[in-house]
Amino acid sequence: MKTLILIFLFLTSSSMFSIELLDAIKIDENTLLLRFNDRATYKTNLSNDKKNITIELKNTKNNIGKNSVRFNSELIKELFLTTKQEILSLNIILKKSSGFNTFQLPYSNSIIVDVFEWSKVTDEEDKFRSGLFAYESSLYKQSINLFNEAKEHINAARSMLGIVYLLEDSLEASFNQLSIAARNNSTIPDVYAALSQIYSEKGSQTKSDYYRNKFLNKLSIKDTNYQYPKLIFSKSIIDSLELDEYLDTSNVDLEVVANNNRFSNLFDEESNRQKTESVAKNRLENEDAFLEMKSFLKYIIIALLLIILFIVSLYLKWRKSRVITQNKEAKANFEKELDQIKSQVKKEGGLVVDRTDTPKVNEYTPKRKEKKVETQYGNLTKVSNIKTIDIDKKIEAKNILSKLDKNKAQNININPNSSDLDNNELKSKLYTKFNVDSSRNNQ
């Protein structure tokens, strides 16, 4: 018993003082991938101005051969590496204030540093990044829920969902999500390592080698003998995994099979195994050709859409100018026909009233002087004309009264000015109406 304890203490102490190596640094847009030879322990820090990310790794050695790496991305400017007392510090200089996620992958021992701009984070991306925080804190249940909400819009969320399912021993759910993520060309390298292990455990070496090569290419590893850690699957879980069932439900074209018992027969007959692997290999080649054709068709469709939009814009511009030209021509033809009708009506002796002209508001019209009316009394104005008419009426009234007085004086030998006569009342009314002086009339 003591011997076992001593061996255990020796192994743990040696692992504590082992040196991890930083083998490579890769960048994909604003994402850094730090690849180590073993699982590294690290802690991160963000400066107050959010422009400097510091990652400290204990017992880690810089194995890339340089202390600074300059990048040309939207957010990352430069990376500096310094070593002090067996602590490797990575200082990531950012171009603007940003946020970041860091998480470690189980197969490649890589640490992912994903830098992002807070103002451009969508709702789905916010769920994805919250899932990464939960994953890094080993809160797998919470991360599964968050990755599930973002997987339809972000392929990296589906990739991480498959990896977390794998860590939770949900092999069927993991295989389903990892297969779809691989079809969508996932940028998470451990997706292909996980699929390679699953196919290897199920006995499909061709598929396993295919995904293993993709895993090595994603990490830029040229050593074909490179070995990476693998998860431990129980035999019951592997045996219960039915790849054929998930062929239809996930809409992922994986491998052509002859029957449901193919995996159990792979080791019975070598010829059948080789035949199946040959069919699978051909299928994979066709699949890659299809993916390339699909990508090519996508660019062709985009180009056609741009050409159609350009043609439509030209047509709309031509139609607008054509409508303007037609309106001008119609107006000119109308005015020409109207002038012809006017001239025809005038020739026939008719009257043409032009109502199209509108008076000018600001046009000044001088006031015309009224013509003076010539009368027997000379040049008179409108007011003096009225007075002249009254005088004429008075003269006429005097003449009538004079004739009346003479007529009465001849028939009746009584003084016409007497108050006893009947016509005195008539005379009085005439005097009053025409304002005639009776004494002047009698003279």
Domain positions in the chain: 17-120, 123-255, 257-320, 373-442
By residue count, the chain amounts to 443
Could you tell me which CATH number the domain at 17-120 has? 2.60.40.3500
| Number of neighbours of residue 363 by Cβ within 10 angstroms | 6
Q: 120 to each of 10, 315, 407, how far by Cα in Å?
A: 50, 37, 122
Contact 128, 154 (CB under 8 A): yes
Helix (H, G, I), strand (E, B) or coil at 430: helix
One-letter amino acid identity for 108? S
Order of strands, sheet of 31-36, starting from the edge strand that comes earlier in the sequence:
60-62, 20-28, 31-36, 110-116, 99-104
According to DSSP, the residues that pair with 91 across neighbouring strands are: 54, 80
CB atoms within 10 A of CB 314: 10
Contact (Cβ atoms closer than 8 angstroms) between residue 158 and residue 194: no
Phi, psi of 177 (to 5 degrees): -70, -40
Q: Are 409 and 421 in contact (CB under 8 A)?
A: no
Q: How is 300-334 classified by DSSP, letter by letter?
A: HHHHHHHHHHHHHHHHHHHHHHHHHHHHHHHHHHH
Taking Cα atoms as reference points, which of 44, 29, 49 lies closest to residue 97?
Answer: 49
| Sheet with strand 52-58: strands edge to edge | 42-46, 52-58, 87-94, 76-84, 68-70
Cα(289)–Cα(276) distance, rounded to whole angstroms?
20
**Closest CA relative to residue 93, chosen from 114, 79, 113:** 79
- For residue 335, the model assigns a pLDDT of 84
- In tens digits, the chain (443 residues) has pLDDT values of 333 333 333 444 444 445 778 877 887 788 888 888 888 889 999 999 999 999 998 888 888 777 888 777 889 888 888 888 788 899 999 999 999 999 999 999 899 999 999 888 999 999 999 999 999 999 999 999 999 999 999 999 999 999 999 999 889 999 999 999 999 999 999 999 999 999 998 888 899 999 999 999 988 888 878 888 888 888 878 878 876 433 333 333 333 333 333 333 433 444 454 555 566 556 656 665 666 787 788 889 999 999 999 999 999 999 898 899 988 888 888 888 888 887 887 777 766 666 555 555 455 556 555 555 454 444 445 445 555 556 666 677 777 777 766 665 555 444 545 444 455 666 666 666 555 555 544 44
Q: How far is CA 54 from CA 34, 42, 60, 89, 102, in A?
A: 13, 10, 15, 7, 11
Q: Which of 193, 221, 220 is nearest to 208 (CA)?
A: 193
Residue 269 CA: distances (Å) to CA of 35, 238, 273, 278: 41, 21, 6, 14
- CA-nearest of 106, 109, 156, 98 to 131 is 156
Query: What's the CA gap between 84 and 98, in Å, rounded?
Result: 27
Closest CA to 115 of 30, 201, 222, 220: 30
This prediction's pTM: 0.52
- Separation of alpha carbons 298 and 14, rounded Å: 54
Predicted confidence at residue 127, as pLDDT, reads 94
Q: Tell me the C-alpha distance between 135 and 128, whole Å.
A: 10
- Same topology between domain 17-120 and domain 123-255: no
- 35, 84 contact by CB (below 8 A): no
Contacts 24+ apart (CB under 8 A), 136-141: 136/101, 136/102, 136/103, 136/104, 140/164, 140/167, 140/168
The residue with tokens 């109207």 is: 338
Position of tokens 């204030």? 97
Homologous superfamily (CATH) of 123-255 is: Tetratricopeptide repeat domain (1.25.40.10)
Element (H, E) at 28: strand 20-28
Give the pLDDT of residue 318.
92
